[in-house]
Amino acid sequence: MAVVKLIGRDGGESKLEALSGCPLMEALRDANIGVEGTCGGACSCGTCHVYVDAAWLDKLPPKTEDEQLMLEAIGDLVPLKPGSRLSCQIPMSEALEGLVVEIAPAL
């Protein structure tokens, strides 16, 4: 399990526990904070878009081609940042204790 620092769409900060071995999207979706995860982690909807703090980017697996294509597709609808990731593609582990993510605007 890892504790993640969240920055909400309103700028408010909170903490969330995420189970190791599960995608971050599941913890965000289950916390009812506005992350839908409509496709269930298939990397095909973009509703789990988050901004990962720059200090954490190198600690995450690289973006897959599918993730990059989905981010490009939603880029016409919401702002993308260098830390834009789909939370369904971030597998949680104890190594990510303290991960900082901001919830991106809703699609």
Two tokens, residue 54: 């720059």
Whether the Cβ atoms of residue 1 and residue 19 lie closer than 8 Å to each other: yes
Residues of the chain with pLDDT below 50 are: none
Tell me the pLDDT tens digit for each residue of 19-41.
999 999 999 999 999 899 999 99
Count the alpha carbons within 13 Å of 75 in the hemisphere toward its beta carbon.
12
Domains and CATH numbers, the chain: 2-103 (3.10.20.30)
pTM here is: 0.95
**pLDDT score recorded for residue 107:** 87
